[in-house]
Amino acid sequence: MWGSELRRVQRLVSEDMAGRIGHARPVPDSVLLVLSRSEDERVTWMQDACEQWGWPSRVITTTERMQWAASVLRPAAVVLLDGGKEWNIEVIETVRPSTAAPMVILGALTADRALLALRRGVDAIVPSGLSAEETLARIYAMIRRSTEILAPSTRYLDAGPIRLDLWRSVLFLDGTPVHLTTIEIKLLAFLMRNAGTTLHPHRIIDHVWQQSHGVGGENALRIAVRRLRQKLRDDARHPAVIEAVRGRGYRFLPTVVEVADEARASSVRHEQVELLDDIASLASKIASHKDRRHISALLVEHLVASGFADAAAVHEVSGDHLVLRAHRGLSEGWIESVREVPLDEGYATARVVSAGEPVQLSASVKSYRMTRAVLKGEDPGSYLFLPIEVSGEVRACVGVVRRSSRNFDTGSLAYLRAALAVIAAGWTPQSAQPLIE
């Protein structure tokens, strides 16, 4: 059977050239992690099928290595080749805490075994005996859906004392777990992913309840918001977390930062420690410059040359506008569009100046329409904006870019804050001319 299905995949690849399944492709830089008890014909079949479809794949047969693989490889999806009830559960419990990627079991499971696996963290059961075309298409459907909802490396949404663990569906308030219902989790996650944006009730209902809106839906939303506020200790009369905008909807007020899983973050901590050593070098360079233009140029050069970011830029506050002072790694079109921008909170930079807190953008965040319009022609990636604060006042904003799904975690934020503190020490009140004339 496996040989005949492989030939079917080969035929479909040819048809793909004509566009039949051209849309059904995951991102090429994410691996399909295949977990099996042993190297058997199913493993060979999966590897060959993935190769024919152009999917990178990695097979792991040692249980002790599975958690490492799920954490470090950042898979697009995890496929368990059914190895029996006990083995399946052991692997699920080992791997699930280390990845938010879709997890499926490929095999002929009884109803009881399937329900048990789903309860333990599997997202779907793909029965054996399907064609390779349908098997891979089902897996990709889950990959596509998961990437629309959540950046692969994001586990937490942080907003001051609020931390939402997206993988475990747990809210922490000042470090203390707070029980939320499934609806409350979905509602809070949706509001936090769109922080700063007023969301119409119909849009919230469509997303959270996945049903058409109506009087009943709006009543359910009001009840859910009221209960969520109570659990967040937020006063509806003077809200600090969830604001009701009359006639328009609801808005999550605090700045939200997406944070990678700590297990994954640990793999780059050594790199971050080395980057901290660069701050002394940065300080010595700045010591010989008093012009903000040159200091800005030194900062963006340092961030890109060190490998910390792929691109960076600095905007300085000038009246009710932000003026571009330095940049590296961004396109000419971007430069032209942001030489000078208003302090309009449709821009993430303006939000940083007004709130004095960092803003991180990724595919899952839909707010800051002006910034997204400017970045529309740029390569995809993770974007982080932070304030440069001098004597208690935000004087400028630095934006850093990574052209990958690798988000800026807590270690990255600590490094940047330290670097910007050094920059602030050399930021003088004298006037500076824009770097780009």
The per-residue pLDDT for range 57-85, each reduced to its tens digit, is 889 988 878 887 787 677 888 999 998 88
Residues 6+ apart with CB under 8 A from 98: 67, 70, 71, 261, 263, 264
**pLDDT per position as a tens digit, 224-273:** 999 999 999 999 889 999 999 988 899 999 888 877 665 544 444 444 45
CA dist 133 and 13 (Å) reads: 10
Q: Are 285 and 377 in contact (CB under 8 A)?
A: no
Helices (H), 197-289: 201-208, 215-232, 262-265, 269-287
| Cβ contacts of 243 within 8 Å, gap of 6 or more | 250, 251, 252, 253
Question: Tell me, what's the pLDDT at 146?
Answer: 62
Cα–Cα distance measured from residue 195 to residue 255, given in angstroms and rounded to the nearest whole number? 7
Q: Is 313 helix (H, G, I), strand (E, B) or coil?
A: strand
Tell me the average pLDDT of the chain. Answer: 78
Residue type, 417: R
pLDDT at 173: 93
pLDDT tens for each residue of 82-122: 988 889 999 998 888 777 788 999 998 888 888 888 888 88
As to burial, measured by CB atoms within 10 angstroms (0-12 exposed, 13-18 middle, 19+ buried), residue 149 is: middle
Q: What gap in Å lies between CA 96 and CA 103, rounded to an integer?
A: 8
- pLDDT at 26 exceeding the cut of 80: no
Q: Are 3 and 42 in contact (CB under 8 A)?
A: no
Q: At what angle do helices 182-193 and 201-208 cross, to 10 degrees?
A: 130
Across the range 206-228, mean pLDDT stands at 79
What stretches of 309-368 show up as alpha helix (H) in DSSP? 332-337, 348-355
Residue 433 pLDDT > 60: no
**What local confidence, expressed as pLDDT, does residue 48 receive?**
84
